Amino acid sequence: MLSGAGPEPSGSRRCGVLGDPIAHSLSPALHRAGYATLGLAWTYESERVAGDGLADFLASCDASWRGLSLTMPLKRTALALAPEVTERARLAGAANTLLLEDGAVVLADNTDLPGAVAAVRERYDGPVSAGTVLGGGATAASTGLALCELGARTVTLLARSPERAADAAAAVRRHPSRPRVEVGSLEHDAVVGEVVVSTVPAAAQDAGLLARCARVPVVFEVTYDPWPTPLAAAADADPRQVLVGGLDLLVHQAALQFALFTGRPAPLAEMRRAGERALAAR
């Protein structure tokens, strides 16, 4: 069980991932593989922390703590708890990364945004003039901004409750390129552009949604567990589509976190292999 205080072996630092739920997270496997590859005596664990519990957890951290990865529902609340926020985290209105020094948070960052860009470019080098994001939460904001970084001038957000996508839409509109942002219904509105990003659960991916995504050149499924989702399975079976998976995103954003925490380049290949092994064992 992860806790904020306690004795620490000499020469090691502590990192971890927080969220609710958290048992599914592959982040420990990835970061631990990175530490082992570089010979670092660091630890990385996971802890279930509810949306109102982040401040208390941070208050319990001692000087051995160096970094925290955040998943839902903590990404938006984390911004108010850091004295410095990177521009990309400010744009997204969410942070998935906290850097600590001497037991105190010093920086909030968002590695989902550049991680998503890297994940897409690893598998697709074509143009991106427009894209669609399925969902309206914090990850939708980050990946919508990533579409802008890839060149999209129009970003469409399709949400089950479009009014709940207001924060994500506002975040994407803040991108310096000033994209056109449209919000529609996940149930029936059109999927447009060269890339469709799914941030919605597998249970929301019905036959109608799959049909609307079938002609999009790139399908980016941010979920990695369960895998494959219906959308990922359909794209993987279609030779006309490029599939970017949730593990791709996880590895690239984790590599950026790893470098921020340790000050050393992340061993990307070893971290990816660790993630693949952990998924195969489930």
Residues with catalytic roles: 75
For the sheet with 104-109, list strands across it.
Answer: 43-48, 14-19, 65-70, 97-101, 104-109
Backbone phi, psi, residue 149, to 5°: -65, -30
C-alpha angle 174/179/181, rounded to 5°?
A: 90
Cα separation, 276 vs 220, whole angstroms: 18
Cα separation, 107 vs 103, whole angstroms: 12
Cα separation, 180 vs 169, whole angstroms: 10
> Which residues pair with residue 219 across a beta bridge?
196, 243
Label residue 39 left, alpha or beta by phi (over 0 means left) and psi (-120 to 50 means alpha).
Answer: left
Closest by alpha carbon to 132, among 29, 19, 218?
Answer: 218
Strand-pair category, 242-244 with 218-221: parallel
Closest by alpha carbon to 216, among 187, 179, 182, 241?
Answer: 241
- Give the chain's length: 282
Say if CB 46 and CB 70 are below 8 A apart: no
Owner of token pair 């703590």: 65
H or E element in which residue 142 lies:
helix 138-149
CA distances from 3 to 14, 47, 189 (A): 10, 8, 45
